[in-house]
Chains A and B, each alone.
Chain A
């Protein structure tokens, strides 16, 4: 059977796309010691309100870290600080070894941020979005990459459509195409599965894993704990803007297992944040 082209971009192993169990990301033994995402003492204040307080963590190439926490824990603020959208009040963020405060251009060149709501320019077509993004990031030969991305995202027939003519899922796909055009080494996802259909969800998971295997450092903020369990190698739990715990999934599970062997991320979440789980 001929493997559809759409799967070739998202997973090196085409079988993954056909429902075969997805293996957790491989952490390369030869990964460079320098973290791609390095956060130290990150604090963000809005007046007297501390959205994030003294947050430190690191993500190395090939690692996928899940950022979880109750509503208002500071996840989105953290992501926005990491992506250089808002300046932190204190602390430092280094992306690919470049300090976001002192060398924001080089830091931003290496990252892509996918917000929960697709942000697009209402008057640019799909093709024009790609052209615009290519110029911003200086992607030579973007036409070929863009065409391949659109084919893989099944958007070839939407090239001349403006966002108003696209469904939410299609808009999300366009944001993904634009974000991947410059082959980022650091990727931030804020609720990446919102608005996607089951096929899109599967492809998104595959894409995240494939990128991690290729050496990207990935941070995912999501309330979908089962997604994080499937794709993340590490997890970081936030509450009231402070880090409760971080580490590999296994470490975190062990820490909150309370002698029961089958602790899942949901149990960990409730125990770590002190929230009461319904039915317990």
Chain B
């Protein structure tokens, strides 16, 4: 009776979710997003899949790979007993907690429901992993998919049961660190014993086995995994990975029986336990809901850890331009994850590494050019990936638009304050890379000679231009939020699926196109000034003058864009846009 109600709920939830996704394709933003997202997934995943079956793992390595797979699984299972730090919490949504916890449903029925629910995700993940895995694993698709299903199902059950056991340990007053210390000590003793045992039975490394002899190392690795107690320790894990590695259906049928047996034992182990998970699940459902809302609003950092108070970057005085208050607020937000200590370590590591590499580089300048190229590449990439990663701006504050609109500030000040924080952070990273490039840049490379003034000139020009490029790069996604708010729906109601991946790809493409066009006038001015002044006065002066002029053009563009966006923000009506 209750089981049928839970199945009914689960079935209809999935059905309605799919129907909603199909229905929303009537809206152009979702339709276009779905087409682009579909093409993306086709070219990166399905095309590979549709090419047909690839050859499975080499039979010579099959046994070794299976043993390594079993070893990896064993480590993951052991970690499930070490890493968790909270009480067992079955993942229920807030609505499920509200409806099911007060309902006359037994704890076991809730666990069964949770397991049933997790099967939908496991099946999807198995199919996805089998599709992705065809690139490197080969073999029959169905065998691989079922192999993944068996592994994920077992691990899901094991994780659940280990969390139940950990709850019981905590209920006995044993803290996480005590439990970890005991558990790690046991593992350490076990490993020491195994190492001694293996060393006693293992033949010495064959003479003349060099690093290039992969076949020799593979054979030796296989010998280690067959030595001492290791085969016995790995035996249950080998049983679990065996279906995945089956070379044909007959092997698969022979292998799936023991794996299903282990899954069944896990199931009984889980359902026979009687651990109170309700309180922890209640808390988790709330946290999950907050986290999902944060992630869907682009705040991926919320996944990492709970937020704590962080120190302000500077003292904010009560009188002055209010835009600075918005900058201050956004820097505090960023400061939760990028602390002064992180910056200090980053700066010292980069400068130190670059200095060491430079002093050891010899005379050909090969390593230095490598570092220079690497720093340049990272700087160029940061112009496109930076605006996607640093979102301490209007994208983060979109849910608080009401609050911002109440403030007695002209729209342009709000926009300026919003885009300044990520632009400053991006510029700081780029300046670091510039320092690295300057240190690494050799005076001579092949036939090219770059004097110190020339190198300094390029560094100064880049240092002046980059902050304004960053400002423009940050204005573009914020403008997208203003002009296409339906593409930035936030909170728990935010859409999911490959349509949103497609939307993100379109926005990223748009970012590249708009940024390229907005840089063009500054590029032209730079080129004219550089060639003219370099011809008459010299390259260093030319590049600095060109850089300053380009920065001025970019500043004018940014000012105009901020003014325009400010006006749009003042007229912006989110409720109307989303309707």
Contacts and interface: CB of A to CB of B under 8 A. Distances in A.
A273 B403 CA distance: 32
A84 B405 CA distance: 7
Interface string B291-331: 00000000000000011111010001111101011001100
Interface stretch (B129-137, B426-434, B569-577): B569-577
B406 A106 contact: no
Interface residues of B, number: 36
A134 B316 CA distance: 9
A167 B82 CA distance: 33
B407 to A, nearest CB: 5
A230 B409 CA distance: 35
B408 interface: yes
B328 A132 contact: yes
A243 interface: no
B485 to A, nearest CB: 13
A57 interface: no
B406 A104 contact: no
A124 B332 contact: yes
A106 B316 contact: no
Interface in A108-130: 108-109, 111, 113, 115, 119, 121-125, 128
Contacts of A109: 408
A256 to B, nearest CB: 33
Contacts of B306: 164
B96 interface: no
Interface string B398-436: 001111011111100000000000000000000000000
Contact of A119 (B307, B333, B402): B402
A123 B408 contact: no
Contacts of B320: 135
Contact of A46 (B329, B400, B576): B576
Contact of B408 (A80, A106, A131): A106
B406 A108 contact: yes
A161 interface: yes
A132 B329 contact: yes
Nearest to A163: B307
A72 interface: no
B579 interface: yes
A135 B408 contact: no
A142 B410 CA distance: 22
Given A46-B579, A80-B402, A135-B320, A86 B408 contact: no
B336 interface: yes
Interface in A122-151: 122-125, 128, 131-132, 134-142
A237 interface: no
Nearest to B392: A123
Interface string B374-410: 0000000000000000000000010011110111111
Contacts of B401: 85
A125 B308 CA distance: 9
Contacts of A46: 575-576, 579
| Residue of B309, B397, B407, B409 with highest tally of chain A CB at under 10 A | B309
A132 B397 CA distance: 15
A122 to B, nearest CB: 6
Given A105-B409, A121-B400, A135 B322 contact: yes
| Residue of B318, B410, B570, B575 with highest tally of chain A CB at under 10 A | B318
B316 A131 contact: yes
A122 B318 contact: no
B318 A139 contact: yes
A78 B410 CA distance: 22
Contact of B406 (A85, A131, A142): A85
A128 B405 contact: no
Given A123-B310, A128-B332, A164-B306, A137 B408 contact: yes
B212 to A, nearest CB: 52
Interface string A252-263: 000000000000
Interface string B546-579: 0000000000000000000000001101011001
B407 A87 contact: no
A122 B333 CA distance: 8
Contacts of B405: 84-86
A135 B325 contact: yes
Nearest to B320: A135
Given A106-B408, A164-B306, A142 B318 contact: yes
A52 interface: no
Interface in B265-315: 306-310, 312
Contacts of A105: 408-410
A160 interface: yes
Nearest to A134: B318
Interface string B322-366: 101100110011001000000000000000000000000000000
Contact of B309 (A86, A119, A138, A160): A160
A141 B318 CA distance: 8
B318 A162 contact: no
B72 to A, nearest CB: 37
A174 interface: no
A125 B309 contact: yes
A32 interface: no
B232 to A, nearest CB: 49
Contacts of B409: 105, 136
A42 interface: no
A211 B312 CA distance: 33
A141 B319 CA distance: 10
Contacts of A87: 570-571, 573
B558 to A, nearest CB: 23
A113 B332 CA distance: 25
A205 to B, nearest CB: 24
A68 interface: no
B402 A162 contact: no
A128 B319 contact: no
Contacts of A139: 318
B325 A85 contact: no
B307 A122 contact: yes
Contacts of A122: 307
A132 B573 contact: no
B307 A123 contact: yes
Given A105-B410, A113-B406, A123-B333, A162 B307 contact: yes
A172 to B, nearest CB: 14
A131 B322 CA distance: 11
A47 interface: yes
A212 interface: no
A86 to B, nearest CB: 5
B402 A85 contact: yes
A11 B573 CA distance: 38
| Residue of A105, A122, A161 with highest tally of chain B CB at under 10 A | A122
24 contacts: A46-B576, A47-B579, A80-B575, A84-B406, A85-B405, A86-B573, A87-B571, A87-B573, A104-B570, A111-B406, A119-B402, A121-B333, A124-B329, A128-B329, A131-B318, A132-B329, A135-B317, A135-B328, A136-B407, A136-B408, A137-B407, A139-B318, A161-B309, A162-B308
The 6 closest A-B pairs by CB, nearest first: A135-B325, A108-B408, A134-B318, A123-B333, A109-B408, A125-B309
Interface of B: 306-310, 312, 316-320, 322, 324-325, 328-329, 332-333, 336, 397, 400-403, 405-410, 570-571, 573, 575-576, 579
Interface of A: 46-47, 80, 83-87, 104-109, 111, 113, 115, 119, 121-125, 128, 131-132, 134-142, 160-162, 164
Given A86-B575, A132-B316, 5 more contacts: A104-B408, A121-B397, A121-B400, A123-B310, A125-B309
